Amino acid sequence: MGSTLLPQKYPDAVVKHDRSGSVISVTVRDGTMFHKLTRNGITAEYPIQYQVGGGMEGRTFLIELGGYLFESPLSWFNGFGWDLSPGYATKDVLEFDRAVAKECIFCHATGARFDDADGKRLVTKSLQPITCERCHGPSEAHIQHPSKANIINPVRLTGAARDSVCEQCHLEGTNRVLNPGKDWTDFHVGDPAEDTFATYLLQGNEKEEIPLASEVEQFAQSRCAQASGGKFWCSACHNPHRPPAPRASEVRAVCTSCHEKLSPETHGADVKECTSCHMPTIKKTTISHAANTNHRIVRRPMPESPPSQEQKLVAWREPAEQFRKRNLGIAELLLSSIDNRELWLDGGNLLSSMGPQTLKNDAEVVSSLEAFYFAMGDSARALEFARRSVELNPQSANAALGLARILQSSGSDSEAEQEFLRTITINPSLKEAYGRLSMLYVKENRIQDAINILDRYIQWNSNEILFRDWKKQLLSQKPSITP
């Protein structure tokens, strides 16, 4: 909360990624951190613009190119040091091309403004850390005339409105779905988060790893929280306004405020803290080198393997009745079509059964069904929804790219070419559009056109490695090689 977004001092490093044959190094020159990626004798080096993350587990780093933010493949982990950013270890090719959009920035910065339909082109000159308003609401009147009456104190809120203050960023869930017509910045302190978006949790997941930001879900399962009738909540143990006092004694004071008499058989005189037994560290998180504290506040150690149960996706709190079927369907289609096949199919069926007005005018439903039918191999239905998506979002590069993909797979190369070009015009950072269009040109033996479109991206980002490497191959008359 309020921590700087400017990169701090970290040690220099060199990290190798054997899978891609890449080497990434970290250096600092004249006070600026640089991340350099080298592969196949080609080098890309970028100045780091921002660091994000609360800092308890580590930091990840962002570069900015022409108003677009991208995550570095390298992150800092407090308990380990430098290593690949989450999700990069299994990649066959490393690049600085993982876009960071409005949804990602929502929990890491204040006042970020994006001026494109997809929430990717940043127009704010510099990102600012989280401010008081994130938890206390608008502050202008309070600054002019400080009063309890013109500022929101979360302690005075109750139920979902109070809990949403923390949950807006600390309840990760499996995925989140915006209500129709809503934006992430529409969330207002003092209102339930479900007025803006719904958060969904996957139950019955057999995988051992858990999301890193899962403390809210765990805490709700604790007997302490359940027995308190809502009185025991995040702020009982966490004060965002100051560094914690000696943490062990601070937490012990909270625990003993209810548990005044402790069993002498298990609580000897030498026991000075509570968390090592009742809130042990969980290391099986979805992020390597990271761990979280078990907020279930267990009385005894939990069994290693919870009983298996049927998978289902449930809302943390349900949105308004008219959005429930719609939001759940979108959330289920955000799951893996392989690992969560039945739920994914259910999501497609839910959305397909929506009323004609929703299927015609709800842009998120339309784009979700486009992806669903495309994955199912129903090109005709996918194309129908892709065209509708473009009609609803004519300035969306994502919509244009989706239509271009389907047209290309359907053999409509000429129309696909135009949509790829339109995608690039709307969003020059969408590297996939350049790559697919270049492959289309290679297929048609238009080698110079393929080289020209790669050059167009390289002119936008001269540091890019993959396209520079592929361009060399095309120039050496190896058009069959694709990126």
pTM: 0.92
Domain identity same for 47 and 162: no
Domain identity same for 113 and 170: no
pLDDT at residue 335, rounded to an integer: 96
User: What is the total count of domains within the chain?
Assistant: 4
pLDDT of residue 57 exceeding 90: no
Q: What is the mean pLDDT of the chain?
A: 91
Domain range enclosing 240: 212-259+274-306
Provide long-range contacts, Cβ within 8 A and 24+ apart, for 388-397: 388/360, 389/363, 392/361, 392/363, 392/366, 393/117, 393/363, 395/116, 395/117, 395/426, 396/117, 396/118, 396/426, 397/116, 397/117, 397/118, 397/120, 397/423, 397/426, 397/427, 397/430, 397/433
Domain identity same for 446 and 373: yes
| Residue 269, domain member (yes or no) | no
Q: What is the DSSP letter of 178?
A: E
Rg (CA), the chain: 25
pLDDT at residue 308, rounded to an integer: 57
Using CA atoms, how far apart are residues 367 and 361, in angstroms rounded to an integer?
11
pLDDT of residue 307 exceeding 60: no
pLDDT range class, residue 51, cuts 50, 70, 90: very high
Which tens digits make up the pLDDT trace of 148-187? 999 999 999 999 999 999 999 999 899 999 999 999 999 9
Of the candidates 94, 108, 96, 97, the one whose C-alpha atom is nearest the C-alpha of residue 34 is 96
pLDDT of residue 394 exceeding 90: yes
**Pairwise pLDDT comparison (306 vs 471), residue with the higher score:** 471
Domain identity same for 383 and 465: yes
pLDDT of residue 19 exceeding 80: yes
Strand 50-52 versus strand 68-77 pairing type: unpaired
Averaging pLDDT over each range in 205-214, 273-282, 414-423, which range is the top one? 414-423
**Pairwise pLDDT comparison (478 vs 468), residue with the higher score:** 468
pLDDT at residue 284, rounded to an integer: 57
Which tens digits make up the pLDDT trace of 68-98? 999 999 999 998 999 999 999 999 999 999 9
Instruction: Report, as an integer, the average pLDDT of 25-43.
Output: 96
| Residue 92, domain member (yes or no) | yes
Using CA atoms, how far apart are residues 280 and 152, in angstroms rounded to an integer?
34
pLDDT at residue 260, rounded to an integer: 87
Domain identity same for 298 and 350: no
| Residue 107, domain member (yes or no) | yes
| Residue 296, domain member (yes or no) | yes
Which tens digits make up the pLDDT trace of 287-305? 788 777 889 898 876 555 5
pLDDT at residue 305, rounded to an integer: 52
Neighbours of 14 (CB within 10 A): 12
- Which ranges of 317-430 would DSSP assign to H, the alpha helix? 321-333, 341-352, 356-361, 363-375, 379-392, 397-409, 413-426
Domain identity same for 104 and 189: no
Report the CATH number at residue 471.
1.25.40.10
| Residue 137, domain member (yes or no) | no
| Residue 4, domain member (yes or no) | no
Domain identity same for 190 and 293: no
Using CA atoms, how far apart are residues 403 and 118, in angstroms rounded to an integer?
15
Using CA atoms, how far apart are residues 302 and 291, in angstroms rounded to an integer?
17
| Residue 43, domain member (yes or no) | yes
- The structure tokens 């994000």 sit at 52
DSSP 72-118: EEEEEETTTEEEEPTT-TT-SS--S-EEE-HHHHTTT-BS--B-STT
Domain identity same for 347 and 424: yes
Which tens digits make up the pLDDT trace of 427-463? 999 999 999 999 999 999 999 999 999 999 999 999 9
pLDDT of residue 479 exceeding 50: no
Domain identity same for 247 and 300: yes
DSSP 323-350: HHHHHHHHHHHTS-TTTTHHHHHHHHHH
pLDDT at residue 198, rounded to an integer: 98
Domain identity same for 117 and 34: yes
Domain identity same for 347 and 458: yes
Residue 293 is encoded by which pair of tokens? Answer: 């504290």
pLDDT range class, residue 306, cuts 50, 70, 90: low
pLDDT range class, residue 345, cuts 50, 70, 90: very high
One-letter amino acid for residue 18 of the chain? D
Indicate the residue among 132, 167, 187 that finishes a domain: 132
Which tens digits make up the pLDDT trace of 107-125? 999 889 999 999 999 999 8
- The structure tokens 């719609």 sit at 326
pLDDT at residue 76, rounded to an integer: 96
Domain identity same for 237 and 312: no
First to last CA, the chain: 41
Classify each residue of 124-133 as buried b or exposed e, where b means 16 or more C-beta atoms within 10 Å of its C-beta: eeebebbebb
Using CA atoms, how far apart are residues 311 and 300, in angstroms rounded to an integer?
26
> Is the dihedral angle over the CA atoms 467, 469, 473, 475 positive or is it negative?
positive
Using CA atoms, how far apart are residues 94 and 15, in angstroms rounded to an integer?
12
| Residue 56, domain member (yes or no) | yes
Using CA atoms, how far apart are residues 197 and 180, in angstroms rounded to an integer?
9
Torsion on CA atoms 223, 268, 291, 23, rounded to nearest 10: 180
pLDDT at residue 436, rounded to an integer: 98
